[in-house]
Amino acid sequence: MINMQQKDVERIRTKVQDEVNKIDPWYLIEISAPEDEYGHQVDRIVSFLVNKKPGFNELKSELLSVFSTNEHKLDEKKIELLADKILEYSKDWMIYD
């Protein structure tokens, strides 16, 4: 189990939010949506990261689940890039038992 302070979780959340906004899976930021448009999805991703400590395939699967909707066709390459970016960043703080 990872023993994290709230400030650590907030730092992770900020980084994940930045990466999600850069990748923009639903093209919302591109059309001038607010920076926190993906807030609910980011919260799910951060919770998954902190509690599950996933590898690439697990994270990719979770991201596909988080961002899959009937309204938006997902670009799987964007999801893979997002998973790569998140795991690249998380290796600095993720501690495996």
Contact 31, 72 (CB under 8 A): no
Q: How confident is the model at residue 1 (pLDDT cuts 50, 70, 90)?
A: very low
88 membership: H or E segment, kind and range:
helix 76-90
Sequence-distant contacts of 11-19: CB under 8 A, at least 24 apart: 12/46, 12/49, 12/50, 12/90, 12/93, 13/42, 13/43, 13/46, 15/89, 16/42, 16/45, 16/46, 16/49, 16/86, 16/89, 17/42, 19/82, 19/85, 19/86, 19/89
Q: What is the pLDDT of residues 44-59, one digit of tens each?
A: 999 999 899 899 999 9
Question: What is the distance between the alpha carbons of residues 44 and 86, in angstroms, rounded to a whole number?
Answer: 13
pLDDT tens for each residue of 18-31: 999 999 999 999 99
Q: Which two tokens stand for residue 29?
A: 């930021």
pLDDT tens-digit map of 58-79? 999 999 999 999 988 899 999 9
Judged against a pLDDT cut of 60, whether residue 33 lies above it is answered with yes
